[in-house]
Amino acid sequence: MKDFIKNRIATLSKEIEEHNERYYSDSNPILSDFDFDKLLEELILLEKENPEFLLSDSPSQRVGGTITKEFITVNHRYPFLSLGNTYSEEELADFDERVRKGLGVDEVEYACELKYDGLAIGLRYQNGILTQGVTRGDGTQGDDVTFNARTIKNIPLRLKKGSWPNDFEIRGEVILPRSIFNNINKEKEELGEAPLANPRNAASGTMKMQDSAVVSSRKLSAYMYMLLGESIISTTHFESIDAARSWGFNIPDYTEKVQGLEGVKKFIQKWANDRFQLDFDIDGVVIKANLYDQQKVLGFTSKSPRWAIAYKFKAEQVETILQAITYQVGRTGAITPVANLDPVQLAGTVVKNASLHNADIIEKLDVRIGDSVYVEKGGEIIPKIIGVNLAKRSPSAALVQYITHCPECKTELQRGEEEAKHYCPNEYGCPPQIKGKIEHFVSRRAMNIDSLGGETINQLFESTLIQNIGDLYDLPNQKDKLIGLDRMAEKSVNNLIDGIEQSKNIPFERVLFAIGIRHVGETTAKKIANHFRNLDALLLATREQLLEVAEVGEVLADSLLNFFKDEKNLALINKLKSAGLCFELSEAQLAHRSEKLSGLTFVVSGVFSRSRDEIKSLIEQHGGKNTSSVSAKTSYLVAGENMGPEKLKKAEKLAVKIIDENELFRLMN
């Protein structure tokens, strides 16, 4: 009986995956949804009753159900480099000339692909099994989204038979087809919920959902376009992805192999016209030198390959009427003017608002209420006004008078000499600033109190239970008041209190970022924390001492000094200290520190066995200082593969010592 069940599970798994491929990759289903669901139900039931036969690559795993509390950040084995962009045929011709000159040939064979507008992802396969899915992140590290990746029907969990390497990575883009996006929004409108903004953001947001069952229900697709690994299976990019297609990957048929610049232009012209017929969004075309040997010869800059470029289509543009200008207040007090427009269809979405950025932009555009304005989406995402149809302007249209007082708290606005924006200085009494600071404080990359969303924060603020970030730590003692609020049942309150208690374990550098000091971002907070090691030392730092920290300039140094001399801020920090938050590096962090590189300045350039950020962090842990450019004050240039040639040339000219990754580690040890 057990053998029969095992064989039946294997048969069902194979059959279901074949139908998945027909439906999602070939768009040629031969089975009704009802019959398909019956097969899947039988498989799930058999696996539930016989868990010893459940495999990680079973098609039942595509249904989801795994809850991911936190997405782990992992380093990429191969950096996700950016592509250089061009919008003109002239720049495209310059690229072709550079490539031909670098290779010493008259004509280059290119592989041309569509530039999908979604979420970049890298999938790792070991012995033919999907073992990891990681988002692009910042290029050197991304979030592990393996459970969610398994729910995407055209990502193979187990490869078909073929000559695939035992360990490789394939990269591509996760997208939400526009037809599915429109259906989701239709359902949301019927339920009275806010619609999703656009397919790209929806795909990205879906992949970061905690419940993989919800991810599965969204019916995402993955389009793959690049193989990476130690074993090269062919001599060209085009042949590699063609082989990957035979292994079960969704490699679009849109990719073409063309000869020279004229072939590239024909491909671009075709898709400039045909892109609107696709069921997904693209924002351009990617052009790559097809031969791997040629790619090696051309190499890389510090940020992008020299053998590839992205040709971006010009943003779609429409004309509509500017009805009004309203003003939004951010968490730092920055005022952002927003154009309220007659609704208009643009790049697949209805646009009602557009950013006007600041007073200077309004003056430069000379935009006026009632004007007929030209709107486009910058990068196909954010709507912006790019001009005015003066021929349609009313003679009575008046100049826009920028507001002088905060639209929320009526405090007079301020604007520094070198500031682009106006600011409301009432940071302790302006509601949007207070709520914005709290939202920033509880966000995932700060204190990670995920049970506190914007609506809950607004409710707690309006009920006067919280008026600043310090008040959050009083909430565990006010459980009765919390349960009395709308939509706050006992389970919700317990989750909230648990999240607040767990946030006390967040390390010093993230607490420093969470506090919301103006100009102190996530990376800068980490550098400051590593440099001073605890808050008390930071509070005593002079301007000169602050400027010694890598990436801390005069504006940031002044912002820190102004923040810490304010009595209200000091009182808030004391309250957070009393609550038990971490304001010093942990013993584990300090245990690996030394002064072995004290007084030495490093420039790190190229690709290494670990990320550049990790190497820079190690340098700082051992007392060294990182800078971005080579100068006479540079002690060492740490050179990796494909490092920037200009840095190398300058280092040789200035007689700066050049070392590799291993020599750096010997210095530290």
pLDDT band, residue 12 (cuts 50/70/90): confident
Q: Which two tokens mark 172?
A: 């591509």
**Residues contacting 434, CB < 8 A, separation 6+:** 427, 428, 461, 467, 468
Among the ranges given (68-72, 210-214, 428-432, 581-585), the one the predictor scored with the smallest mean pLDDT? 68-72
- The CATH number of whichever domain residue 361 belongs to comes to 2.40.50.140
Looking at per-residue pLDDT, the higher value among 139 and 61 belongs to 139
The pLDDT tens digits of the residues spanning 141-159 come to 888 999 899 999 889 999 9
pLDDT of residue 608: 80
Q: 380 pLDDT exceeds 50? A: no
The pLDDT tens digits of the residues spanning 221-235 come to 999 999 998 877 789
Query: What residue ranges in 220-267 does DSSP mark as E strands?
Result: 221-228, 256-259
pLDDT band, residue 378 (cuts 50/70/90): low
Round to whole Å and give the CA distance between 131 and 150.
10
- The CATH number of whichever domain residue 51 belongs to comes to 1.10.287.610
The pLDDT tens digits of the residues spanning 83-116 come to 888 888 899 999 999 999 999 999 999 999 999 9
Nearest to 423 by CA among 434, 411, 438: 411
For residues 152 and 252, membership in a common domain is answered with yes
Round to whole Å and give the CA distance between 493 and 586.
30
For residues 198 and 145, membership in a common domain is answered with yes
Q: Which two tokens mark 372?
A: 């007929």
Residues 177-191: what's their mean pLDDT? 77
Residue 268 lies inside a defined structural domain of this protein: no
Residue 76 lies inside a defined structural domain of this protein: no
pLDDT band, residue 63 (cuts 50/70/90): low
pLDDT of residue 381: 54
pLDDT of residue 379: 46
For residues 227 and 98, membership in a common domain is answered with yes
- What single-letter DSSP state applies at residue 291? B
Looking at per-residue pLDDT, the higher value among 149 and 378 belongs to 149
Percent of the chain with pLDDT over 70: 93
Number of domains in the chain: 6
Percent of the chain with pLDDT over 90: 50
Q: 607 pLDDT exceeds 60? A: yes
pLDDT band, residue 191 (cuts 50/70/90): low
* Contacts by 3-7, CB closer than 8 A, 24 or more apart: 5/46, 5/50, 5/53, 6/50, 6/53
Nearest to 59 by CA among 99, 26, 11: 11
Residue 69 lies inside a defined structural domain of this protein: no
β-bridge mates for residue 387, sequence order: 374
- The CATH number of whichever domain residue 551 belongs to comes to 1.10.150.20
The pLDDT tens digits of the residues spanning 447-457 come to 989 778 888 99
Indicate the residue type of 301.
Answer: T
Q: 27 pLDDT exceeds 60? A: no
pLDDT band, residue 190 (cuts 50/70/90): low
Domain extent for 525:
508-590
Q: 592 pLDDT exceeds 90? A: no
Burial (CB count within 10 angstroms: exposed 0-12, middle 13-18, buried 19+), residue 544: exposed
The pLDDT tens digits of the residues spanning 308-340 come to 999 988 777 899 999 999 999 988 899 999 999
Q: Dihedrals φ, ψ of 226, to 5°?
A: -155, 135
pLDDT band, residue 66 (cuts 50/70/90): low
For residues 183 and 92, membership in a common domain is answered with yes
For residues 514 and 499, membership in a common domain is answered with no
For residues 435 and 399, membership in a common domain is answered with no
Residues 523-538: what's their mean pLDDT? 89
Residue 75 lies inside a defined structural domain of this protein: no
The pLDDT tens digits of the residues spanning 215-266 come to 888 889 999 999 998 877 789 999 999 999 999 999 988 999 999 999 999 9
Domain boundary among 444, 477, 505: 505
pLDDT of residue 369: 96
Among the ranges given (23-32, 276-285, 500-509), the one the predictor scored with the smallest mean pLDDT? 23-32
pLDDT of residue 523: 75
For residues 459 and 527, membership in a common domain is answered with no
For residues 180 and 162, membership in a common domain is answered with yes
pLDDT band, residue 28 (cuts 50/70/90): low
For residues 151 and 236, membership in a common domain is answered with yes
Domain boundary among 590, 614, 647: 590
Residue 293 lies inside a defined structural domain of this protein: no
Active site residues: 115
Nearest to 484 by CA among 465, 467, 512, 458: 465
Residues 432-440: what's their mean pLDDT? 92
Residues 167-174: what's their mean pLDDT? 95
What does the mean pLDDT of the chain come to?
87
DSSP letter string over 83-95?
PPEE-SHHHHHHH
Domain boundary among 544, 574, 590: 590
For residues 498 and 361, membership in a common domain is answered with no
Residues 61-82: what's their mean pLDDT? 73
Q: Which contiguous run of DSSP H or E holds residue 588? A: helix 587-591
Q: 515 pLDDT exceeds 90? A: yes
The pLDDT tens digits of the residues spanning 334-374 come to 999 999 999 998 866 788 999 898 999 999 999 999 999 99
For residues 444 and 360, membership in a common domain is answered with no
The pLDDT tens digits of the residues spanning 614-658 come to 788 788 888 888 887 888 889 999 998 777 778 888 899 999 999
Global pTM value = 0.52
For residues 172 and 229, membership in a common domain is answered with yes
- The CATH number of whichever domain residue 632 belongs to comes to 3.40.50.10190
